[in-house]
Amino acid sequence: MTSPSTTFISHSGEDYERMMGRWSRRLAPLLIDFAGLGDGERVLDVGCGTGSLSNALAATGLPAEIQAIDLSAPYIEQARRHNEDPRITYSLGDACDLPFPDASFDRVLSLLVLHFVPEPQRAIAQMRRVARPGAVVAAATWDARGGLVANRMFLDTAAMLDPQAAELRQRSFTRPMTRPGELGAAWREGGLVDVAETALAIRMEFSDFADYWRPFEGQDGPPAQYVATLAPEPRERLRQAVRAAYLDGEPEGPRSYAAIAWAVRGRVPG
């Protein structure tokens, strides 16, 4: 689906899981540790995807209620299908027009969303609006240019073969909220106080090249959408070039790549 509130096109919850869900599950606990969490809180997960952050919040045993929203119907359906925790409610919703009253949450979190919002200040203003005075608002986005090795390997290889892919790489590395200091500046501009920033690091592990390549054959995420535009011959040429980059002089098998996200937290005045 498309919307003025997102540049991310979604099709399949299962494709998203292969492309990003398995990694957001690793990142979610790190964001929670950084953002903090109190017993009995009412928490909002903005742009919940297939539920990685909501499930990690529930696993702490602390929140009394977790509201989770996303613009993608397939992702919400996937999240609901696998949810067995009555504290979590998944709903369709727009980060730029949150369907909740003012000051209704104790903590508002967003994981890997704001870099796909064309006007992230609108989403940040909404996150602040629905957070009560004194509540924490926190988010994380990928360091797309400098910290996402697995994605960069694909984009750099594709850009060497095709000017269209070079344009995709440029868009990917200049998304809002992905460069050093952008999240913190946006939080301060949005009127949040006690702003703190950090970097969160995980590893992306692949069992073999087929495991690495499979998400690019789906429909979700900009790289997969680019691959889908290619005719069979250039698609196979790209696959072989990316495979050579993945193997990198060693036998077929597992690979592990660093993945770094920027994170920010701030408090609503009052």
Q: Is 51 left (phi over 0), alpha (psi -120 to 50) or beta?
A: left
| Residue 102 in this model has a pLDDT that exceeds 70 | yes
Rounded Cα–Cα distance for residues 73 and 66 (Å): 18
Average pLDDT over residues 55-69: 97
Is it the case that residue 230 has pLDDT exceeding 90? yes
* Confidence grade of residue 1 (pLDDT, cut at 50, 70, 90): very low
How does DSSP classify residue 20? I
- Classify domain 13-148+175-203+259-267 by CATH number: 3.40.50.150
Where exactly are the structural domains of the chain? 13-148+175-203+259-267
169-199 residue pLDDT tens: 999 999 999 999 999 999 999 999 999 999 9
How far is the C-alpha of 218 from the C-alpha of 42, rounded, in Å? 35
Enter the DSSP assignment of 97: B
Residue 13 scores a pLDDT above 70: yes
Of 107, 110, 77, 78, the residue nearest 96 (C-alpha): 110
How is residue 24 written in tokens?
């957001």
pLDDT for the residue numbered 215? 95
| pLDDT digits 0-9 by tens, 66-88 | 999 999 999 999 999 999 999 99
CA dist., res. 252 & res. 138, Å (int): 39
> What percentage of residues in the chain have a pLDDT greater than 70?
97
| The pLDDT value given to residue 41 | 98
Residue 8 has pLDDT above 90, yes or no: no
Question: 2 pLDDT band (50/70/90 cuts)?
Answer: very low
Q: Name the average pLDDT for the chain.
A: 95
